[in-house]
Structure 1
Amino acid sequence: MPISAAAILVTKLAASVLADRLLGEARRFHPLVGFGHWAAAIEAVVRRHVGAQRAAGALAWALAVLPWVGLALWLRTVHPWAHWPVDIALLYFALGGRSLAEHAEAIAAPLEAGDLAQARSRVGWIVSRDTAALDATGVAAAGTESVLENGNDAVFGALFWFIVGGGAGALLFRLANTLDASWGYRTPRYLRFGWAAARIDDLLNLLPARLTALTYALLGRTRRALACWRSQAAAWDSPNAGPVMAAGAGALGVALGGPAIYHGRLEQRPPLGEGRAADAASIRAALGLVRHGVLLWLALAALVALVAVALPLLTGATGHA
């Protein structure tokens, strides 16, 4: 990697992470809200004229996502310096670190204060399971699982695809993840139509999820995290959420998984991690893994950039001597 490219990459990463930390997600006119309306319109048109089979869903996915990725690639070319604001803005848009922290604290604080009704209400904002009958441990477990999983979906996955493909890569990942959250359910409506959205999201998450799991393991109880990843992840329905949550739960020393109600149906989920029962502290500890993981990734990126700068200088000096 050229010296300038390495330094530029690290600078863009740091600027976008800082923007997310300071500004958070847009409170009004959020781009993903507009994208949701766009995707809903695409779905309606494709269902009406093409159908609801897998091929129709794949066409809808392409029509919903690819024009915006193409626009992002084009915007980077309109001026020699355009890649700076375009990439930083797109990665900032793709990141959801501060939003994740705000949602996590909105669950942990009332749970810690004994306000179970409020904690149930807030955890229902970020999980798809039914929360009305959850006890305090169930709320804490749901919140902890969500923070661990969304650490990949809202943070590390976006960072990975930015490193691979710049702002367009981060945008592709975020839009694909959004469509998976909208169309990827195994319900009668989306079982076939949402197949492509679910599989594409699985593919895009294949490497980021495992790097996220490794990050959690390195920052927590490493041996236990790796053991839980190895023994528990394969039993989970999602090929990517399994490693992330098993390693994360093991790193925290907390027991997650178990029965949960989705769309009125009880599901017996495999265990995740081992150790104490979840509580408000485990939600905050999971958020700590995400935050420290971001710092670790930035430090590694800076180290790579430093090596990219120093190596040619050292090689040149040796050759000159």
Structure 2
Amino acid sequence: MQAAFDQIYSNGALLVLWGALLFHLILPIPISGHPATLWRAFARILADKVNTNKSYSQSLISGTLAWVLMAVPALIVLVALKPLVWQPQLFDLALLLLAIDWRNSEKLGHGLADAIAKEDKKLARSLLEPILNRVTKSLSPVGIGKAGAETLILGYGRNVVSVLFWFGLTGGIGALLFRLISELARAWSPSRSQFLPFGLPATRMLALFEFIPLRIFSIMVILGKNATQVFGQVLMQSKTWPMPGPAWLLSSVGSKLELSLGGPAIYGDSKTVRPKIGGRVVPTALHIGQIQKLLAWRLFVWIALQSTLMFLLYQGI
């Protein structure tokens, strides 16, 4: 017993993982004070300066260069800082705390469920407004339910699952860098006309880095009741969604709980016709709770599996 404890204690990465989760669940960083908010604000300022080309190809080149200008210096600074700190584990802990965002998604879910249950559309829209790129002022109860469900699913998938995945592979630097890449794709989302095609490089890079963790997590969601049927629906429906990682995750949760996701959405001054995926039931307050319960249990399994793998790899097994 003592030997096993000593092995766990000597594995700094495991202690960082569990410590970051514990600190985050107890004292999460609020959205308004999170450095990611400043990162997105700077990204928008940069876009205002360089996203001025009318030509499609020139705008695409500008978007690529802007992404490189944001992401590469961030990576260089993080790598350069690590040797300067007196305790590398504390450095990784700090970066993982900045990267992960579980509690804010959980808080959003509870707030949305209460607002939808009370039929308070104004409150529900105000909760979604700072997170969504789409227009929220005109969201109907059906639109609020769908938008809330999609936001929760992708929030858990990107800000928890993918962050933990990249922490396991590359440490705190990889975890935070993924979060910054995700925020760039959000700030320059090409779903809004002013960022098309400028934001395409940012979304493609995000799609590349989130593909494996979201695909693995989607399979974990599929497993269990009606797994064969859900898997068939995911294979069929995911082909119609533009991004492969979110396609599987949204479709797997929607099909598992028979919830209707996707459909038309308004971004800026234009209406986007998105494919419908999942089931036929419009998400309500009850379903928001079901989504959180489903994803929370899968996340516990993910953390247990990742911890086991990290322990075994550290022991050279």
TM-score interval, smaller chain:
0.7 to 0.9
- 3-state SS of 2:194 partner: coil
Identify if the C-alpha distance between structure 1 residues 122 and 40 changes in structure 2 by more than 3 Å, giving closer, same or farther.
Answer: closer
2:252, 2:31 → 1: CA distance? 33
1:183, 1:9 → 2: CA distance? 33
1:38, 1:131 → 2: CA distance? 23
Shift of 1:309: 6.9
Note if contact 1:14-1:298 (Cα within 8 Å) is conserved in structure 2.
no
Matched, 1:156 2:187: no
Q: Percent identity?
A: 26
Note the alpha carbon deviations across 1:175-198, whole angstroms, 9 max, x for none.
111110111314443223222212
1:130, 1:19 → 2: CA distance? 34
Matched, 1:64 2:70: yes
Counterpart of 2:12 in structure 1: which amino acid?
I
Q: 1:295 aligns with which of 288, 294, 300?
A: 300
Alignment-derived partner of residue 315 in structure 1 = none
Identify if the C-alpha distance between structure 1 residues 306 and 88 changes in structure 2 by more than 3 Å, giving closer, same or farther.
Answer: closer
Identify if the C-alpha distance between structure 1 residues 156 and 193 changes in structure 2 by more than 3 Å, giving closer, same or farther.
Answer: same
Whose radius of gyration is greater, 1 or 2? 1
2:25, 2:274 → 1: CA distance? 34
Counterpart of 1:110 in structure 2: which amino acid?
A
Counterpart of 1:62 in structure 2: which amino acid?
V
Alignment-derived partner of residue 35 in structure 2 = 31
Note if contact 1:151-1:290 (Cα within 8 Å) is conserved in structure 2.
yes
Matched, 1:124 2:124: no
Structure 2 unaligned segments of length 5 or more: list them: 1-6
Identify if the C-alpha distance between structure 1 residues 220 and 178 changes in structure 2 by more than 3 Å, giving closer, same or farther.
Answer: farther
Q: TM-score, normalised by structure 2?
A: 0.86
Alignment-derived partner of residue 319 in structure 1 = none
1:47, 1:256 → 2: CA distance? 32
Superposition CA RMSD, Å: 2.7
- 3-state SS of 2:244 partner: coil
Alignment-derived partner of residue 317 in structure 1 = none
Note if contact 2:168-2:310 (Cα within 8 Å) is conserved in structure 1.
no
Alignment-derived partner of residue 77 in structure 1 = 83
Note the alpha carbon deviations across 1:217-260, whole angstroms, 9 max, x for none.
23665334322211101101222221110011112232222333
Q: TM-score, normalised by structure 1?
A: 0.85
2:299, 2:38 → 1: CA distance? 28
Note if contact 1:137-1:277 (Cα within 8 Å) is conserved in structure 2.
yes
Identify if the C-alpha distance between structure 1 residues 139 and 66 changes in structure 2 by more than 3 Å, giving closer, same or farther.
Answer: same
Q: 2:249 aligns with which of 244, 247, 258?
A: 244
